[in-house]
Amino acid sequence: MEIEVLKEQICDVCHKTWQLGWVAANDGNVSARLEDGTFLCTPTGMSKSFITPDKLLRINAKGEVLEGAEGLRPSSEIKMHLRCYEKRPDVWSVIHAHPPGATGFAVAHKAMDMYNMIEDVAVIGSVPLTPYGTPSTTEVPDAIEPYLEEHDVMLLENHGALAVGSDVITAFYRMESLELWAKITINAVILGGSVDISRENIQKLIDLRGFYRVTGRHPGYKKFDNGLR
């Protein structure tokens, strides 16, 4: 993909995350891997509603700025993005946001291990709650690393959510699916409880991933005892 097209995609996703209410002020960050091993990322201290192609930065694997407008620098959370790229060669985009429904689970210290929605069972599977980490330190990347082998979506304890994908749009779709799933589950709990699909049918849905050419990783059937049932 041409770099200018990729920049437009990143900006579009930034604007959508703001419009959907997943970020406020300078929350969240988006990045993408380039063919030459460098990365595009959003700058720190700027609303995602204001991001334009000329404001994106190109950085190396150490987080050092190679290209960018004067005065702009990467978010301190770029360490989390770079850890995803380091451990997952199949990942070409990372999105971090604070979608209210999913972040509610993170703040309540509840993993999203429900198997109650057909699409989410097949595409995402269970979503773990990663341990608390202090922003801007290596605590956050260290906290997510054990989960990267099996999961494309994670909840960050008392923080927000993380989604990775084979491209920017796939990562965005996963974050979007996570948030809708969280809202539906919250409504189900209010109405009396979240009811899982049967174990047999869960496996059938997971097996369909190959047929639909779903990229990324899947944890299979895994529970974290989130206490919703």
Going residue by residue through the chain (229 aa), what tens digit of pLDDT does each one get? Answer: 899 999 999 999 999 999 999 999 999 999 999 999 999 999 999 999 999 999 999 999 999 999 999 999 999 999 999 999 999 999 999 999 999 999 999 999 999 999 999 999 999 999 999 999 998 899 999 999 999 999 999 999 999 999 999 999 999 999 999 999 999 999 999 999 999 999 999 999 999 999 989 999 999 998 876 656 4
Q: Crossing angle of helices 100-107/168-190, nearest 10°?
A: 70
Secondary structure (3-state) at 148: helix
Q: 88-106 burial string, b = 16+ CB within 10 Å, else e? A: beebbbbbbbbbebbbebb
Cα–Cα distance, 75 to 30 (Å, whole number): 10
Residue 111, judged by CB atoms within 10 A of its CB (0-12, 13-18, 19+), counts as buried
Nearest-CA neighbor of 129 among 116, 146, 117, 120? 146
pTM: 0.95
